[in-house]
A and B are shown apart, each in its own frame.
Chain A
Amino acid sequence: MLIQILNGLVYAGLLYIVSVGLVLIFGLRRVVNFAHGGFYMVGAYAGYTAAMVFGFWGGLIVAVLVLGLIGILLDYVVFRPLQNADHMVTVLVTFGILLVFEDVVQMIWGADTLSVLAPYPFDGTVQLGDILFPVYRLLVIAVAIAVALGLTLWLRFSRAGLYVRASSVDALTTGMQGVDTEKLSLSVVGLGTALAGLSGVIASPLLALSPSMGSSILIESFIVVVTGGLGSFAGAFIAALLIGQVHNLGIVYVPNVASMLPLLLMVVVLILKPTGFARSYS
Chain B
Amino acid sequence: MSNLSMAAAAPKVRTSTTPPVLVVVGIAVALVGFVLPWLGLPRNILSLLTSASMTAILATGVGFLVRQAGFSSFGHAAFYGGAAYLLVLMSVYTGLSGEAVVLLAPVIATLAAFALSFILLRTQGVAFSMLSLAIAQALFELMMRWRDLANGEDGLRMRLPREIFGLKLSFFQKADTMFLVSWSALIIIIVGLVLLSRSHFGTLTLAIKNNEERARFIGFRTLMPRAAIIALSGLIASIGGTLFALYNGYITPGLLHWSLSGEALIIAIIGGTRSVWGPALGAFLFVILRDFAGNYTTHWQSIVGLVLIAVVILLPSGASGAVSSLVNRIRGGRDV
Residue positions of A touching B, CB distance < 8 A: 31-32, 82, 85, 87-89, 91-93, 95-100, 102-104, 107, 215-216, 219, 222-223, 225-226, 230, 255-260, 262-263, 266-267, 270-271, 274, 280, 282
Contacts and interface: CB of A to CB of B under 8 A. Distances in A.
A219 B139 CA distance: 12
A226 B131 contact: yes
A87 B301 contact: no
A103 B269 CA distance: 21
A95 B316 contact: no
B45 interface: no
Contact of A260 (B142, B148, B149): B142
Interface string B255-270: 0001000100110010
A95 B306 contact: no
Interface stretch (B117-125, B169-177, B211-219, B243-251): B117-125
B148 A256 contact: yes
Q: Which 9 A-B pairs have the closest CB atoms?
A: A259-B141, A99-B305, A96-B309, A100-B305, A96-B308, A222-B130, A96-B305, A103-B301, A103-B302
Interface of A, secondary structure class, is helix
13 contacts: A32-B126, A88-B125, A91-B72, A92-B308, A92-B312, A93-B309, A97-B305, A99-B301, A219-B134, A257-B145, A266-B131, A266-B134, A274-B122
A274 B123 contact: yes
Contact of B125 (A87, A103, A215, A258): A87
A100 B308 CA distance: 11
Contact of A219 (B122, B133, B299, B305): B133
Given A255-B145, A256-B146, 18 more contacts: A91-B126, A91-B129, A95-B266, A95-B308, A97-B309, A99-B305, A215-B258, A219-B133, A222-B134, A223-B134, A257-B145, A259-B140, A259-B141, A263-B135, A270-B122, A271-B119, A282-B123, A282-B124
B127 A230 contact: yes
Nearest to B305: A99
A259 B145 contact: yes
Given A95-B308, A99-B304, A259-B141, A31 B126 contact: yes
B76 to A, nearest CB: 14
B184 to A, nearest CB: 32
A223 B131 CA distance: 7
Interface in B292-336: 299, 301-302, 304-306, 308-309, 312-313, 316
Given A91-B72, A100-B301, A260 B138 contact: yes
Contact of A89 (B122, B146, B313): B313
Given A88-B72, A96-B305, A222 B312 contact: no
Given A258-B141, A258-B145, A104 B122 contact: no
Nearest to A88: B72
Interface string B219-254: 000000000000000000000000000000000000
B137 interface: yes
Nearest to B137: A219
Band of interface residues on B? 35 or more
Contacts of A93: 308-309, 312-313
Interface in B43-76: 72, 74
A99 B145 CA distance: 25
Which interface residue of A31, A87, A92, A267 has the most chain B CB atoms within 10 A? Answer: A92
A282 B123 CA distance: 9
A93 B316 CA distance: 12
B126 A98 contact: no
Nearest to B119: A267
B252 to A, nearest CB: 16
Contacts of B299: 103, 107
Contacts of A96: 304-306, 308-309, 312
Contacts of A282: 123-127
A87 B305 contact: no
Contacts of B72: 88, 91-92
Contacts of A216: 137
A118 to B, nearest CB: 27
A222 B149 CA distance: 28
Contact of A100 (B127, B146, B149, B302): B302
Nearest to A102: B301
Contacts of A91: 72, 126, 129
A257 B142 contact: yes
A226 B137 CA distance: 15
B301 A92 contact: no
Nearest to B136: A219
Contacts of B149: 256
A45 B142 CA distance: 28
Which interface residue of B135, B138, B146, B148 has the most chain A CB atoms within 10 A? Answer: B138
Contacts of A257: 142, 145-146
Nearest to A225: B130
Contacts of A222: 130-131, 133-134
Interface in B138-162: 138, 140-142, 144-146, 148-149
Contact of A103 (B124, B141, B305): B305
Contacts of A100: 301-302, 305-306
Contacts of B258: 215, 219
